[in-house]
Amino acid sequence: MSVSADRAPATLAGVCLVPLGQLREHPQAALVPSMADEEYAAFLADVKGRGVLVPLEVTGEGVVLDGHHRLRAAKELQLSDVPVRVVAVEDELEHMLLSALRRRNLSGSRAAALAVRLGSYREEKEKARERSQGNLRRGPEWAPVPTRGGRPRALAANLAGVSERTLEDAACVYEEDPELFAQIEAGEVSVKRAAMLVRRKLRDAELFSPQLPSGLFQVIYADPPWRSQSPDSDWAPEAHYPTMTIGEICALPVPAADDALLFLWVTNALLLQVHVVLEAWGFEYRTNFAWVKPSIRLGRWARNRHELLLLARRGNFPLPDEANCPDSVIEAAVGRHSEKPVAFYELIERAYPLASKLELFARGVPRNGWAAWGNEVEAA
């Protein structure tokens, strides 16, 4: 069925009124970003008051290429006819996506996602064309995969009205996590946030889980990567390294001797929950040390300037000599993220010089006289 303008004369050059029943959605209309509920409610109210002012672009068969929200509003308001402009385009989907980019007041994230969707479609179309030409030249068994091409990133970013970095982030999410990319298209998550989550996931996937060292140790010094309360925050520890739930930390088979000490760093927010880790590892809480920093740090209820190192005991591990009994407070400067002061290693070494020592979740080259375990441990 072709679009007919018999019911009304053209009101503008190339524009005519057609019965609403002659129009239908494009089968790929879902790829065009939809308005948020509040945005659409305001749009619907405007159409109710003023009618459809901008013509819909349709094919000769009445398939809507541009104006999906106008069509939806007209149906909900039960309008009898709407203005349309019949267009002939070479590629309907490309026309739809380009129209959405040029006409819609999209957020930067959604515009970037739409530009990536358009670029991917063009790339796949080009691959199909080259495969088809290759098949014609060399026979059906030859179907090369061409190198990645398409428009330069700068031109695509300019088309979407976003930075090249935003476009790059959107492309990263598109390739690695289609479900998360769909959330960008729906306006549920920003490109920046989605790309951060994807890159963290890729980073964590590259890490290995080394075997724990053989033997049992009398002193365990551990700085677990506690899962934060706001893991998606730009300031969360997850931005620097993968974290673990309390259950995952509890499940770690700590190679502690029957008589042993545990020095366990804990975040202030998890202080009342850490007892389950002590129980799972077979230790009983005894006391704690405080690392006091030279300046205030981040915090929600308080600007934290200290961290706690808990001391727990298993079995009958003896007390330190009175002369080597350590001060419970150490004031020391802050190093790189999550790095603990050397003073605490020295405290343990002075108080328990003959004990075998293991550092869990260690970083870098192991300290002399210590065994070390962690996915960031470096060879000496």
The count of domains in the chain is 3
Half-sphere exposure of 134 (CA within 13 A, CB side): 12
CATH number of the structural domain spanning residue 314: 3.40.50.150
Q: Which residue has the tokens 């003896």?
A: 318
Distance CA 311, CA 277 (A): 13
Residues 332 and 373 in one domain: yes
Looking at residue 267, what DSSP letter applies?
-
Report yes or no: 70 and 82 within 8 Å, Cβ to Cβ.
Answer: yes
Q: What is the pLDDT of residue 232?
A: 64
Residues 369 and 287 in one domain: yes
Q: What is the pLDDT of residue 327?
A: 92
Residues 305 and 323 in one domain: yes
Pairing of strands 363-364, 256-266: unpaired
| Structural domain contains residue 251 | yes
Give me the amino acid identity at 150.
Answer: G
Give me the amino acid identity at 199.
Answer: R
| Structural domain contains residue 5 | no
Distance CA 354, CA 348 (A): 10
Residues 67 and 126 in one domain: no
Residues 242 and 367 in one domain: yes
Task: List the Cα angle 24/28/30 in 5-degree steps.
Answer: 95
- Cα 202 to Cα 106, 168, 199, 363, 377: the distances in Å are 29, 16, 5, 20, 20
Which helix (H) or strand (E) element contains residue 192? helix 191-206
Which of 324, 338, 229, 350 is CA-nearest to residue 293? Answer: 338
Pairing of strands 329-331, 284-292: parallel
Chain-centroid distance, C-alpha 213: 34
Q: Tell me the pTM.
A: 0.61
Residues 57 and 184 in one domain: no
Residues 144 and 247 in one domain: no
Residue where a domain stops, chosen among 162, 184, 206: 206
Residues 93 and 110 in one domain: no
Residues 89 and 134 in one domain: no
CATH number of the structural domain spanning residue 70: 3.90.1530.10
pLDDT mean for each 10 residues of the chain (380 residues): 44 77 94 88 95 94 94 96 94 90 83 88 81 55 34 72 89 93 91 90 77 95 85 64 88 97 94 96 97 83 91 96 91 85 96 97 94 88
Q: What are the structure tokens assigned to 236, written together?
A: 């969360």
Residues 97 and 137 in one domain: no
Residues 224 and 199 in one domain: no
125 — phi, psi (to 5°)? -65, -40
Determine the structural domain holding residue 342 and report its residue range.
217-377
3 — phi, psi (to 5°)? -70, 135
| Structural domain contains residue 211 | no
Those residues with Cβ within 8 angstroms of residue 314's Cβ, 6 or more apart along the chain or in another chain: 256, 257, 258, 259, 260, 261, 262, 282, 283, 284
Q: What is the pLDDT of residue 139?
A: 40
| Structural domain contains residue 66 | yes
Residues 178 and 31 in one domain: no
Residue where a domain stops, chosen among 46, 78, 102: 102
| Structural domain contains residue 335 | yes
Residue where a domain stops, chosen among 53, 77, 102: 102
Q: What are the structure tokens assigned to 261, written together?
A: 């000490």
